Amino acid sequence: MNDRPWYSSYPEGVPHQLGPVQYESLADLLNECFESYSDNPAFENMGKVMTFAELKEQADHFACYLIHDLGLSSGDKVAIQLPNLLQYPVALFGALRAGMTVVNVNPLYTPSELKHQLVDSDAKVLVVLANFASNLEQIFHETKLTHVLITEIGDLVGGVKGAWVNFGVKYIKKMVPNYHLPQAKSFKAALKKGSNHTFQQPKISSTDLAFLQYTGGTTGVSKGAMLSHANLISNLLQVNAWMKSGGLKAGAEIYITALPIYHIFALVANVLGSVSLGSQNILITNPRDMAAFVKELKKHQFTVLSGVNTLFNGLLNYPDFKDCDFSQLRFGFGGGMAVQQAVAEKWLEVTGSPLAEGYGLTETSPVLTINPLDGNHKLGTIGLPVPNTEIRIFDDDFNEVPQGQPGELCAKGPQVMEGYYNKPEETAKVMQEGWFKTGDIATMDEQGFFKIVDRKKEMILVSGFNVYPNEIENIIALHPKVLEVGVIGVPDAKSTEAVKAVVVKKDDSLTEEDILTHCKEYLTPYKCPKHVSFTNELPKSNVGKILRRIIKENDLKNHQYESAK
């Protein structure tokens, strides 16, 4: 049997193996890009364009502030809790070039979720949008933070427009809850203070940590995947080699970044991808505002648009989207969740460009496979392994299964993480004989295309985000009127799956509304149950473990859901 059948399906020009990496760190790569593309537009947000030269200058100021004014050292953790704004790449690249480790934080986290990540990561600095500072106030003294830098939405838009944006957000839309953080400083003031120093690049090794990128675990406990500079550079070069087969050219692309930068997919495929190719990146701050999103799209002859299935579906169902200029669009790049066939077919019909699906995980920096971009993609598959990547499918006894048979997808490659931060036991669970065990059940066809057929973990996939039942159960179990709870995923037409809680009452007065109100206090909205039902008892194993599989089987027998097509 050919153990790498995917090579025969590779697009023309994509090498089977990439040569030695020419960069020691992301800082080296960034420095080269800043020099080569200095006059090119790098990022644009709310009409404000920042060139590569301007990005370098601002990132230098931030790096100097971290090193000289805050006295931080290489390897210290800098957390960033921002939506897609110009401040993000400035803080991101400043911290990376200062030799520090970036901790990306979801802006929508509740105080308890935020506390867990900040404490677990040992973060010393947090750059946070004023809109979310009230959540930080509630848990600040329980963290190890020594510095907080607060920014407002219009800060780097600058001028009268930036001031008006900040005024409108704060006083007209009232989107900034009151907070009291006397120890906090202004991000803008930090950049100004940093400008008093001259930046000197510290020595950064390929094995140094670039990111602590948080992911849910099978237990629901969020874990920090340790991603080194070598991990990220390797994956970036793997992805770029593939993208070039789709016609991408350095200095000539316009990327649309609607996915949040804190998510590993957007971070690598969009932000690092566009910068490494000297291309322009349009940052979409709030893609849920479909009218404003499409209005922005109409201003650009964009060439690359990445997203998850629900984003593409939302655009296709917005009437004005069809009036955008697709003449330069090379492809849509889907990840984070399965791209549905109906969506991919409609995308091709409306835009005239393919919607190619890829696959990866936080632990793999993230990309493992991508569909060909030369028109030979296979709908319903996750594509082929990218260069320098080995994928095998094993059974529960870690024997490789015959081609076409399902088993756990396992991967090797330079993009696979160093392990989970301060969690050697958790790392050992997912690594076996040098293979990373993804927890996803897959098959491979005779041409080397892989297909995900099931999820070994009992996670629930809500609009591309992993939701872990144990985390939700733990929160619901805190309610004084709850005796027992089991959480499952059920089909949902809009988000692929929705969270459902099946509850045994301790107090007969407990209502569905009580559960939902309780969850909203502790959980990000996409993790909150969409459905709640009550039962007299939950199925259990002989040792008393609640059997979610049986709960789900019983639920699907008794309830009808509209599933995604």
Task: Answer yes or no: are the C-beta atoms of 232 and 30 closer than 8 Å.
Answer: no
pLDDT value of residue 450: 96
| Among the listed residues 274, 272, 265, 287, the one whose alpha carbon sits nearest the alpha carbon of residue 213 | 265
Sign of the four-CA dihedral 541, 547, 552, 554: positive
Going by C-alpha positions, the residue among 463, 92, 54 that lies closest to residue 258 is 463
* Domains of the chain with bracketed CATH: 51-204 (3.40.50.980), 460-558 (3.30.300.30)
Contact residues for 244 (Cβ-Cβ < 8 A; gap 6+)? 13, 14
Q: Is 565 exposed, middle or buried (0-12, 13-18, 19+ CB in 10 A)?
A: exposed
Q: Is 183 helix (H, G, I), strand (E, B) or coil?
A: coil
Position 219 scores a pLDDT of 42
Instruction: Give the pLDDT confidence score for residue 218 in this predicted structure.
Output: 36
Find where tokens 């048979």 sit: 405
* pLDDT tens column, 446-490: 999 998 876 666 778 899 887 878 788 878 988 999 988 999 999
In the numeric block, the tokens 């930090």 are attached to 190
Q: Is the peptide bond before 366 cis (omega within 30 degrees of 0)?
A: yes
- Residues in the chain, overall count: 565
Distance of alpha carbon 232 from alpha carbon 414, whole angstroms: 9
Degrees to nearest 5, angle at CA 279 with 89 and 102 = 25
CA 278 remoteness from chain centre: 22
Looking at residue 308, its pLDDT comes to 83
Contact 466, 221 (CB under 8 A): no
Q: What is the pLDDT of residue 284?
A: 97
- List the Cα angle 330/341/531 in 5-degree steps: 120
CA dihedral 471, 472, 476, 477 (to 10 degrees): -40
pTM for the predicted model, two decimal places: 0.85
Please check whether residue 522 is in contact with residue 112, taking contact to mean a CB–CB distance below 8 angstroms: yes
What is the reported pLDDT for 220?
A: 53
The predicted pLDDT at position 217 comes to 41
Residues of the chain with pLDDT under 50: 1, 217-219, 542-543
**What confidence score (pLDDT) does residue 543 get?**
43
d(CA 401, CA 408): 9
CA distances from 112 to 80, 143, 231, 540 (A): 17, 11, 30, 30
Kindly report the number of other CB atoms within 10 A of residue 559's CB atom: 12
pLDDT at position 216: 56
User: Distance between CA atoms of 343 and 314, rounded to whole angstroms?
Assistant: 10
pLDDT in tens, 145-167: 999 999 999 999 999 999 999 99
* Token pair in block for residue 541: 């194993």
User: What average pLDDT does the chain have?
Assistant: 92
